[in-house]
Structures are given as structure tokens and as C-alpha cells.
Amino acid sequence: MQRNEITWQAGGQQGEGLESLGAILASVLSRQGYYLYGFRQFSSRIKGGHTNYKIRIATQPVGTLNKQCDLLLALDQDTLVNEALAVGENGIILAEKAIADFYTGKGKLLAVPFNDIAKQYGTILQKNIVALGCTAAIFGLGEDCCAVQLQKEFGKKGEEAVAANLRVFKAGMEFVKTEAPELLAEKQLPALISNEPKLFLLGNEALAFGALSAGARFMAAYPITPASEVMEYMVKKVKELGGQMLQAEDEIAACTMAIGASYGGARAFTATSGPGLSLMAEAIGLAAMTETPLVIIHSQRGGPSTGLPTKHEQSDLFAAIYNTHGDTAKIVLSPSTIEEAFCDTFEAFNLAEEYQCPVIVLSDLQLSLATQTMPVPEYEELVIRRGKIAHSESLAAIKTPEYFARYSLAADDGISTRVLPGTPNGICLGTGLEHDESGRPSEAKLMRRQQTEKRLKKMQTFLAHYKKALFVDAPYEEADILLIGMTATRSCLAETAEVLRQEGKKVNHVQIRLLAPFPANEIMPYLQKSKKIVVVEHNATAQLAHLLRMQVEGCPHLESILQYDGDIMYPEELLVRCKEVL
Amino acid sequence: MSVLQDFRNNVKPNWCPGCGDYAVLAALQQAAVKLGLEPHQLAVVCGIGCSGRLSGYVYAYGMHTTHGRALPFAQGLKLANPELNVIACGGDGDGMAIGLGHTYHAIRRNVNLTYILMDNHVYGLTKGQTSPRSDWGFKTKTTPTGNIETPVATLEMALSAGASFVAQGFSTQLQELTDLIVAAVKHPGFSLVNVFSPCVTFNKVNTYDWFKERLVGIDSIEDYDRYDKGKVLQHILEHEGLLTGLLYEDRKKRSYEEVSGLANNNQMQSVRKFTKAEFNKLVEDFR
């Protein structure tokens, strides 16, 4: 399936408006009806340092970037030295005039005095809007659709600001019209086939919106890249809904506050990255031992320790599953598309309450920080389930020294009934110590075995019921190769599989959406149906491959394709590495 | 109407005979009765240590959390469940060592709950190590030649954090302690009640007698003004923190719930799906 698409990229120094340029362009194109995938690369600093924003513009859904670059705007030298390498003979580069000489490639170069034009019609800060104008000219985008977006973007700053930006925008368009008319509409946007209503948002916004839709009204969090946007979205929305987003003093406080709020009957959560998860380990154990619902959105970045705060990695797999000491019963979901980011987070709150345990929604930097098109979620499909909660009407009258059996061993599924504090006739205790059915500390050997088995039984019950453990695209009964991945590599693997199939290879693809408890039985048939199995992941120690070997009895031989340089994976490169395996 | 018996759960505390914490437990139970609470309207959230076991000895909703983290839990609980009366408890290890940061930030935040800190100047449950409240020179297994770190100044710390209610009690003064807890729960903000609660087993220096000889009730101080922070600080410094009573109160400071707007609009308990209209409006943000 040939994709009808075009790729745009802009590179420059941080603090020069590149993010804004990309955001405005993406909004314009999204409104037109295009499917977009945008990804920005940046450093851990505020101003200065190189940044670039790449947008893939297509007429069908796209879920990753590739190495193509059809139109590149180079506002700094780094762009001409690095990103420009991806521009082929048919590509166009618009380079800042002052540095244009640094380009030595084969693409069509047009030197544009972005800085000068900006200063002439506005201020130097608006050079990104000049770039927008040039882009519009080359894409054949009408002035009107961009004007609407500029109004939206700068309207808050007043009419004069909007007018100034329009002037600068038009100047950019004019420059191309007069200096390089042959480039006008040279990179025509592909023709749209359909225009169904679409959304365009950041992965973190999808995660946050999922939480909000699930009824989450308390979030305690500490800012950390690449999760901060979750708390930023929540703080804007939750107050008028009668909730609170509280920026805690640290991640330990954040996680523990969420547990307290959840114990109290609210739907509560936190969001963090690797370093934060390490801090939260003890608190997660408290939630597991007291059987209190807890949702943690964990967006992975380069580790270990402070690692690479703004770079992509998938190396917290083991930490997410195992960093809490003791036999901890917890659920770890790994959404692999932006739709799943929304619905898995929504579902996480249901699972946390039904199974009374911690649920980690394991995202990664690519999924969290890419901006992409998403269909409008189906409202009818959203169902809130709170699990076993007893309200006073159903509780027998009790008084001291009788307690409500919060940790009753009676149920076969391992799930006892919760009661929210404040409920008459529901008094019970909770403790991080091992306990009896009333929640009183207990060291008795039999009770210890029974409570341990109860907690672990809940996970078995969950695994038996959960239907979304895997994404499967496995049409072949006898495949040449099975590609396995998790979270954001989904589309990269899918596009690579597509190319290999076009070349006559039988390729199956499984993306694992549930990491704990591990769906061993469900994945086994696919492992058996393939001559070669390749586990593709962004870490150096092949954590997902290890997990498969550990969890799947009789697991066949697995090959690994690992990437741990901080960059996302490109289908072109994965294709080469897959062929080496085949 | 509840009576004292309603808050007793027949669980024998595993505290040593003579432990100061028995009095704190009794005072808390008596205070609950005086406040007219029913047991289910009370939640006791504790940390780790001998004092942390208290939540298991009161008949009320009780939660025994992690070391130093009772206050974050208690704040989350109170914000989610504003109708509940939340009392957090712990010892001086829990609140002044590992939990010191959370204590300070909880005071700053001023969520409407009460924190009873049982201060015995030692780590009891781990068998007698120095605590951040131990006196200079205090000898234990981990400081055999004497403590060489300045004790945390609880009261001054609380005042510097903007505390709106600071009280201090002593285990043998049960009536006063009960009244302080009643006042603390009634206070619309974060209330700190530090209690000298001697450890008879591991602290042979700061004993009941030691405290009796030194503690000064603020009623015996002429013109004591609990609303004047500067003067209160002066008294604290003069008496090296060995005062009892309701030491400081700020009646103007508004609670976190009030300032944040939660006091007027808290819907955390009503977990529900969005209406179609609400959902569509939120979806519009992403078009």
C-alpha cells in the first residue's frame, strides 16, 4: 500500500519559535482533514541548543515518522548538517540566508533571509511565521486557512498582534512568489479522500483526557519530562469539575497522596517518568498490600538515573513490573497507539478499582510527546465500573470490637469488598503489614499464606477476563518472521511488516499491550507459528525478550533488535535490520 | 451519642507498660467523644514506629501507612473525603527524620487535619537509636559517644512554615491533652499537636520526671499572647521549647480547601461518566 504523503521539517535553536511553528502548521493541516504525525526533538535546556520538528502529512493514519523529508526549513546550521542529509534530489530546503552556504547536498536549496524579513515586517521573534508563509506557498495552502489559525493563536494578544503576524506571514509567501516562483505549490499536498471528524493532540493529552473521562478528579504529581503535560492538562480542567490537581513536594508525596485520596473514595492518580517511579516504589507496595486502587501514568525516557530526560527509551519495563519489593500484585498496561493511550488510561481506573491494586499505564516518550491524529473516541463505549464497594445500606450493623471484613477470604476471585471511610457500619483497618481479614496486623502462618494467595489470585482473575492484552496482525499460519514490540514502536513495526510482505515475506506482528500479569498463554500460539521471532525494543538489555523467556514456558528462540541511542525508530532502518535476521 | 467505650477496640497495644503513648490514645478517644463524633466519622492515619501502631488501637477507620508518609496519605484522604475527620499520627522518627519534608510541606499547605506527633526523643521500635529530636550528647547504640547533631526545633520549624495552629502536650497531663486535640480538630486548617510521650525502655534521660521538672504551662506565663508570632517564638526560645498548651494560633489563615475552592466545589466522591455534552465540549479542544 503506497502511502500518499509528504513530510515537512523545521530545525533551529530552542527558544526561536519552532514548536509554535510546527503546532500552527499542524493545526492548519489537521483542520484541512489530513492525518498527521508530528514529533519534536529537543534538549534538556530552556533556550539555545538545537531542536527540530518533523511532521508527516498523509491521507491515511500514520503512527510514526520515517526518514523522508520533502520540505525542510533550516533556521540554524545544525539543521543543514544533520537533518538536511535526509533531503533527496526532489526535496526542497529553505535555509536562512546567513548560513545557507553550509549546505552541500543534492536538494533544491533556496536561501531565505528569515531574520531580515522578520525584522522588516515585525520582529526577529517572528521568523518562524515567515517560515510558515514560505511553507504555505510551497504546499499550495491558501492564505485564508492559515489566517484563521493565526487568529486563533495570537488573538489573545490583541488585534495588533494578529495583524503583525499576518503581515510577516504574507511576506514569507511573497518571498517565494517573487524569488522562486517555480517552487510555488511545488510540493502539493496530497488530495484528501475523506474528511471524517478527527482530533489532533499530544499523546500526554490523550492519556490525561482518558483519566478525566474515567472520572479522575484528584491528581497529585511532580513535574518531570516527559510526563508534565498530563498534570498541565488536568490543572486546566479539573477545578470546575470539583476536583484538584495538586503539585506535591516530591514524587513520594504525590503517589502517597493519590493512594490516600483513592482510599477515601475518589478516583486518583499520578504521572511520572523513570526517576519518579523509582521514588514511588515503596508507596506502590502500600497500595498493593492495603489493596487500594492506584493509577500511575509512567512515561519512559532514557535512563538509568537522570539519563536522557528528553530522549526516547523503553528501559523501565523491569522497573514498572518489579521495582516494588515483595510479591507485589500489580497490573502494567502498555498502550501502543494514541487511541489506546486514551482508552487504556480510561480502563486503568476501572481495573484499579475492580482489582483493588496498582495499575501502571506504561507509556514512552515517543507516545507521550508525539502529536498525532486520532478519531473521536466512541462515547457509548465508555463505561465506568467501580468493582465491589459496599455502601451503608448493604452493611450489617456492627459496633466495637466487631470489624468489617475488608480483607475477607471468602470470594473465589480473590476480590473482597471495599468500604469507603466515613461509611457507617463499615469500620475496618488497613496496614502495610500482613494482616487478618479485618485488617489487623497478623504474623500467623496460615493467614499469611491465605492473604498472599488472595492478592495474587486477583491477578489470575484479571488475566482470565482481560481481552486487550495483545494487538495481533498475524495472517500467516507459518510465518517467516514474527515481529514483537511494545508501546510506541507499533506503527514502525507495522510499516516494516507491510514492506516485507510486499517483498513476498510472510510477516506476523504482535504488539504487547499487557506486561503484567503477562499474557503467556495468549501469545504462545503466535510464537509457535513462526520460523523466526524478533523482539524489537528501545533498551540495551532486551528486557521484553527476557520477560517473554521468563513468562512463557517453552518459549522458542528469540532474536533481538535493540536501539538505545535516544532516537525513535524509523521503518527504513528497521527494515534493514529485519532483513539481516531473515 | 458516642461514649468512650465506642472507640475502644479491645486490642491490647504492644507498647511497653508505662509508655507515654497510652495517654495519647486515651486523650484521642476522649477527644472524639467530646467532639461528638461517631467512630465511622473518624479516620486515623499513622506512620511507622511504636507510635504508628496507634491506628490499630482505636475503633475508627484506621490506616497504617509507610515510614514518614502518613501526612501525604492523610492530606489526599481529607481532600477526597472532606466530611471525614482525619487525624494523622506518628513518632519523632516518622515526622522529624524521614518525614520532615512532608511535615514542613503539610504545614505550609494547611489542609484541614490534625497531626499528633508523639515525641520521645528516641527510636523505640528499632530498639533505641538517636532520633532527630534527641538532645545533644544523647548516647545510644548508634551514637555511643553522644549525639553530635543539633536537635530539630519542632516548634520554630512549624512557625517558620506558616503553621496556623501549634500545640504541645505531655502524657501525664491527660485533661490538657484531650482539650488540645479537641481544639486541634475544630481548627479549620492544619493543626500540629506535639506530645512529649516518654519512652520508658530506651530513653533514660528524657523521663517523665525530667519533663515534669522542666515543662512550663503557658497559663503560668504572664500576658502570654498566642496570636503574636514574634512573642510566641521568644517564649519558645527562652524555654527551649519546653512549654505546654495551645502555643500559637492564626485565626485568619484560610485552609487549603478554602483557598483552592474545594470547600465550595468538591465532587471527588461522585465518580461518574461525562454527559454527552460535557464530553463533546472537551473533545472540541483537540479539533
Per residue in A375-395, pLDDT tens?
999 999 999 999 999 999 999
**pLDDT for res A206:** 98
Residue A391 gets the label, from left (phi > 0), alpha (psi -120 to 50) or beta, of beta
Does A110 touch chain B if contact means CB atoms closer than 8 Å?
no
**pLDDT for res A197:** 80
Contact criterion met (CB < 8 Å) for B76 and A258: yes
Mean pLDDT value of segment A147-172: 91
Chain B 59-88, CB below 8 Å of chain A: which residues? 59-66, 69, 72-81, 83-84
Mean pLDDT value of segment B198-227: 97
Contact criterion met (CB < 8 Å) for A431 and B75: no
User: Which residues are B63's β-sheet partners?
Assistant: A430, B45
Chain B 8-47, CB below 8 Å of chain A: which residues? 8-11, 38-41, 43, 45
A445's CB contacts (< 8 A; 6+ apart) are none
Closest C-alpha among A358, A361, A429, A357 to residue A388: A357
C-alpha cell at A314: 523503553
- Out of B69, B268, B282, closest to residue A283 by CB: B69
> Above 60 in pLDDT, residue A38?
yes
Closest C-alpha among A461, A408, A468, A394 to residue A438: A408
What CA–CA distance (Å, rounded) separates B27 from B193?
12
Nearest CA in chain B to A377: B283
C-alpha cell at A75: 533556521
> What is the β-pairing status of strands A244-247 and B216-217?
unpaired
Contact criterion met (CB < 8 Å) for A259 and B78: no
What CA–CA distance (Å, rounded) separates B36 from B32?
6
Name the least confident of A20-29, A275-284, A299-308. Answer: A20-29
Contact criterion met (CB < 8 Å) for B73 and A239: no
Residue B144 gets the label, from left (phi > 0), alpha (psi -120 to 50) or beta, of alpha
- Residue A300 near residue A315, CB atoms below 8 Å: yes
Does A249 touch chain B if contact means CB atoms closer than 8 Å?
yes
> Above 70 in pLDDT, residue A314?
yes
Q: Which among A240, A263, A289 is the top mutation candidate for probing chain B, defined by the most B β-carbons within 10 Å of its own β-carbon?
A: A263
What is the CB-side half-sphere exposure of residue A172 using CA atoms within 13 A? 32
> Above 60 in pLDDT, residue A134?
yes
Does B260 touch chain A if contact means CB atoms closer than 8 Å?
yes
Closest C-alpha among A328, A320, A324 to residue A362: A320
From chain B, the residues in CB contact with A371 under 8 A are none
CB count within 10 Å of CB B185 equals 22
Compute the mean pLDDT over every residue in chain B, rounded to the nearest whole number.
97
| A178, A183, A184, A189: CA torsion to nearest 10 | -160
Q: Taken in order B55, B61, B66, B71, is the CA torsion positive or negative? A: negative
Q: At what angle do helices A203-213 and A338-354 cross, to 10 degrees?
A: 30
| B174, B180, B182, B186: CA torsion to nearest 10 | -170
Nearest CA in chain B to A247: B109
C-alpha cell at A544: 521484553
> Above 70 in pLDDT, residue B71?
yes
Gap from B99 CA to chain A (nearest CA, Å): 10
**pLDDT for res A363:** 98
Contact criterion met (CB < 8 Å) for B73 and A257: yes
In which band, very low, low, confident or very high, does the pLDDT at A2 lie, cut at 50, 70 and 90? low
Render pLDDT for A400-440 as a digit per residue (tens, 0 to 9). Answer: 999 999 999 999 999 999 999 999 999 999 999 999 999 99
What CA–CA distance (Å, rounded) separates B31 from B4?
9
Does B158 touch chain A if contact means CB atoms closer than 8 Å?
no
**pLDDT for res A289:** 98
Contact criterion met (CB < 8 Å) for A424 and B77: no
From chain B, the residues in CB contact with A286 under 8 A are 65-66, 69
C-alpha cell at A271: 504521572
B242's CB contacts (< 8 A; 6+ apart) are B211, B214, B215, B216
> Above 80 in pLDDT, residue A62?
yes
C-alpha cell at A161: 498582534
Question: With 0-12 CB in 10 A as exposed, 13-18 as middle and 19+ as buried, what is B251?
Answer: exposed
Mean pLDDT value of segment B118-131: 96
User: Which residues are A297's β-sheet partners?
Assistant: A271, A361
In which band, very low, low, confident or very high, does the pLDDT at A4 lie, cut at 50, 70 and 90? confident
Mean pLDDT value of segment A354-381: 97
- Out of B64, B282, B285, closest to residue A432 by CB: B64
Does A34 touch chain B if contact means CB atoms closer than 8 Å?
no
- Residue B23 near residue B174, CB atoms below 8 Å: yes
From chain B, the residues in CB contact with A440 under 8 A are 11, 56
From chain B, the residues in CB contact with A242 under 8 A are 262, 265-268, 270
| CA A111 distance to own-chain centroid | 37
Alpha-carbon separation of residue B65 from A267, A292, B22, B56, B105 (angstroms): 19, 12, 20, 11, 18
> What is the β-pairing status of strands A294-300 and A331-333?
unpaired
**pLDDT for res A1:** 47
Say how many residues make up chain A.
Answer: 582
Gap from A210 CA to chain B (nearest CA, Å): 11
User: Which residues are A1's β-sheet partners?
Assistant: none
Name the least confident of A68-82, A224-238, B58-72, B191-205. Answer: A68-82
Chain B 226-245, CB below 8 Å of chain A: which residues? none
From chain A, the residues in CB contact with B60 under 8 A are 427
- Residue B78 near residue A305, CB atoms below 8 Å: no
- Out of B10, B64, B273, closest to residue A382 by CB: B273
Does A428 touch chain B if contact means CB atoms closer than 8 Å?
yes
Amino acid residing at A482? L
Mean pLDDT value of segment B237-246: 98
In A250-382, which ranges are continuous DSSP H helix?
251-263, 274-290, 317-322, 338-354, 365-369
> Above 60 in pLDDT, residue A29?
yes
Gap from A322 CA to chain B (nearest CA, Å): 19
pTM attached to this predicted model: 0.97
**pLDDT for res A3:** 67
CB count within 10 Å of CB B280 equals 12
> Above 90 in pLDDT, residue A445?
yes
- Out of A246, A260, A440, closest to residue B74 by CB: A260
- Out of A212, A259, A265, closest to residue B73 by CB: A259
Q: Where are the beta strands (DSSP E) in B50-200?
A: 61-64, 85-91, 114-119, 122-123, 129-130, 165-170, 191-196
